[in-house]
C-alpha cells in the first residue's frame, strides 16, 4: 500500500514538472560579416526552456541586396510574426520559419494580416495604386482586380511637399483635387531626407496627421474631417531632430503610439490627449525607461524594477512571462553589443546569452 502511494506521488510530481516546462523560441537576425556586398542576414531560432537558453538553430540566410537594390530586409520598419510561423518584414517580405524558405520577396505596404492572408497597398509613381493579397493557404500572390475592394479605412489624401509649409490634398475619384489643409507643417528632418509626416485614418472621414514646426523642435497632432475640413488640435510634444523616421503603432481603436528618437508619444483619441511617456507602454508586464540615461534604461516587470541596461528599444521584445534585449556597452559616442539578456521567469532575473553581430530581434514563438 505504501509502495503504491509513493509511486503515485512520484508520478504526480513528474507530471507537474513536465506541465511546468515552457518551450519558446526567440527569432534573432544576425549580420553575416562575410556577406557584406549582398548584405546577408542569418535568421536563428534561440531555444528557451523555462526562461533559460538551451541552444540555437539557423533557419536560413537571406540577401538584403540584389543587383545593388534593397531586397529582403529585416532591419527596415516593424517586423511581425503571423500564426507563430511566418515572419513578415517591415517592407512586406514573407518568410516561412517552419519550412525555412522565402514565400514573398516583393515590397509593399502591409495593411492587414488576417484570415490566412496578408493584404498590401501599393502607391507608386510607376506601378500605380492598387491592393494585393498573399494567400498563406495557397502560397499565392496576386493583385486585386476589383475596383470596389477596400482593405483600409479612409480616402485618397496626400501631402504636397513642393513648397514649405506642406499642404494636404484630397483626391476624390473622378473629381478635381481638394485642398484640406493649407499649412500642414514642415515635415520631419530625418537623416537629410524629407519623409511624409505620419498620417492615419480613424474612419472613412477622419484622420490624424503629425505637424512638425520649421525647427523640428515641436510635433503636434491634428485631427481632420474631410467633409467639413475642420482641423482640431489633439496635443503637442517637444522633439529634437533624429535620423530615424517617426513610426506609428496602433494599440487599439482609440490609442496610438508614435516613436520618434528616444520619445514614445501616446495619442488617446477618446480622451483627446497626447502623453509624452516616461516609461514604455506596458507589454506582457514589461516596460522600460524611454529616455536613455548615462547608466542605461530602467527595466520594470509588473511595475517593479528588474535592472538597468543599455539597449535599443527596437531590440527589446516580450511575450508571456519572458522578455529579451540586445545588451550594449556605451563608450562615448560608440556602442558595442554585449550579447542577449533573457528574462528567466522562474528565477525572476535576467540571464546572459553570448552572441554577436545581432541586426534585430524579431520576437518570440511558441515551440
pLDDT per residue of the chain (367 residues) written in tens, 0 to 9: 555 554 455 444 444 444 578 999 999 999 999 888 999 999 999 999 999 999 999 999 999 999 999 999 999 989 999 999 999 999 999 999 999 999 999 999 999 999 999 999 998 888 888 999 999 999 999 999 887 888 889 999 999 999 999 999 999 988 999 999 999 999 998 877 789 999 999 999 999 999 999 999 999 999 999 999 999 999 999 998 878 889 999 999 999 999 998 999 999 999 999 999 999 999 999 999 999 888 899 999 999 999 999 999 999 999 999 999 999 998 888 899 999 999 999 999 999 999 999 999 999 999 9
Identify the bridge partners of residue 132 per DSSP, sorted by sequence position: 120, 143
216, part of any domain: yes
307, part of any domain: no
**CA dist list (Å): 188 to 52, 193, 251, 264:** 42, 8, 23, 16
237, part of any domain: yes
Strands (E), 167-230: 167-170, 178-181, 199-201, 206-212, 218-225
334, part of any domain: no
Distance in angstroms (rounded) separating the CA atoms of residues 323 and 289: 15
Distance in angstroms (rounded) separating the CA atoms of residues 88 and 73: 10
All residues at 6 or more sequence positions from 132 whose CB lies less than 8 Å from its CB, including other chains: 108, 119, 120, 121, 122, 141, 142, 143, 144
Distance in angstroms (rounded) separating the CA atoms of residues 299 and 306: 6
Residue pLDDT, tens place only, 303-337? 999 999 999 999 999 999 999 999 999 888 889 99
Whole-number pLDDT of residue 301: 97
CB 179 within 8 A of CB 167: yes
Of 57, 56, 55, 52, the C-alpha closest to 20 is 52
Whole-number pLDDT of residue 38: 95
Helix (H) or strand (E) holding 11, with range, is helix 2-20
Q: What is the 3-state secondary structure (H, E, C) of 145-158?
A: CCCCCCCCCCCCEE
178, part of any domain: yes
Give pTM, 2 decimals: 0.88
Distance in angstroms (rounded) separating the CA atoms of residues 54 and 297: 27
Residue pLDDT, tens place only, 228-264? 999 999 999 999 887 888 999 999 999 999 999 899 9
361, part of any domain: no
77, part of any domain: no
Concatenated DSSP letters for 73-121?
A: -SSSS--EEETTTEEE-TTS-EEETTTTEEEE----EEEEEETTEEEEE
Query: Can you say whether residue 178 is alpha, beta or left, with left for phi > 0 and alpha for psi between -120 and 50 degrees?
Result: beta
| Domain ranges, residue 179 | 153-277
3-state helix, strand, coil in the chain (%, to 5): 5, 55, 40
Q: Total structural domains in the chain?
A: 1
The residue whose grid cell reads 534585449 is 325
358, part of any domain: no
Distance in angstroms (rounded) separating the CA atoms of residues 181 and 75: 34
CB 36 within 8 A of CB 49: no
Q: What is the DSSP code (8-state) at residue 305? A: E
Amino acid at each position: 500500500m505504501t509502495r503504491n502511494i509513493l509511486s503515485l506521488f512520484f508520478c504526480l510530481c513528474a507530471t507537474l514538472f513536465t506541465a511546468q516546462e515552457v518551450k519558446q523560441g526567440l527569432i534573432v537576425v544576425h549580420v553575416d560579416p562575410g556577406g557584406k556586398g549582398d548584405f546577408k542576414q542569418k535568421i536563428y531560432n534561440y531555444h528557451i526552456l523555462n526562461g533559460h537558453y538551451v541552444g540555437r538553430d539557423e533557419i536560413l540566410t537571406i540577401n538584403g541586396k540584389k543587383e545593388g537594390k534593397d531586397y529582403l530586409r529585416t532591419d527596415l520598419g516593424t517586423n511581425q510574426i503571423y500564426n507563430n510561423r511566418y515572419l513578415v518584414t517591415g517592407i512586406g517580405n514573407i518568410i516561412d520559419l517552419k519550412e525555412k524558405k522565402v514565400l514573398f520577396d516583393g515590397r509593399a505596404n502591409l495593411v492587414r494580416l488576417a484570415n490566412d492572408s496578408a493584404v498590401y497597398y501599393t502607391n507608386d509613381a510607376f506601378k500605380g495604386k492598387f491592393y494585393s493579397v498573399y494567400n498563406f493557404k495557397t502560397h499565392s500572390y496576386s493583385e486585386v482586380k476589383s475596383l470596389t475592394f477596400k482593405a483600409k479605412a479612409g480616402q485618397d489624401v496626400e501631402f504636397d511637399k513642393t513648397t514649405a509649409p506642406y499642404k494636404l490634398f484630397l483626391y476624390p475619384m473622378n473629381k478635381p483635387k481638394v485642398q484640406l489643409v493649407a499649412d500642414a507643417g514642415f515635415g520631419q528632418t530625418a537623416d537629410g531626407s524629407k519623409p511624409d509626416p505620419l498620417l492615419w485614418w480613424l474612419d472613412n472621414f477622419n484622420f490624424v496627421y503629425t505637424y512638425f514646426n520649421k525647427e523640428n523642435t515641436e510635433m503636434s497632432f491634428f485631427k481632420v474631417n474631410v467633409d467639413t475640413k475642420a482641423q482640431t488640435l489633439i496635443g503637442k510634444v517637444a522633439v529634437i531632430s533624429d535620423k530615424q523616421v517617426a513610426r506609428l503603432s496602433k494599440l487599439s481603436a482609440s490609442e496610438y503610439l508614435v516613436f520618434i528618437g528616444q520619445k514614445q508619444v501616446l495619442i488617446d483619441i477618446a480622451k483627446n490627449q497626447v502623453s509624452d511617456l516616461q516609461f514604455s507602454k506596458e507589454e506582457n508586464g514589461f516596460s522600460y525607461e524611454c529616455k536613455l540615461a548615462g547608466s542605461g534604461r530602467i527595466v520594470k516587470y509588473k511595475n517593479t524594477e528588474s535592472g538597468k541596461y543599455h539597449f535599443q528599444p527596437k531590440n527589446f521584445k516580450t511575450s508571456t512571462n519572458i522578455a529579451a534585449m540586445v545588451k550594449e556597452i556605451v563608450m562615448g559616442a560608440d556602442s558595442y553589443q554585449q550579447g542577449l539578456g533573457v528574462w528567466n521567469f522562474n528565477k525572476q532575473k535576467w540571464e546572459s546569452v553570448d552572441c554577436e553581430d545581432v541586426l534585430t530581434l524579431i520576437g518570440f514563438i511558441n515551440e
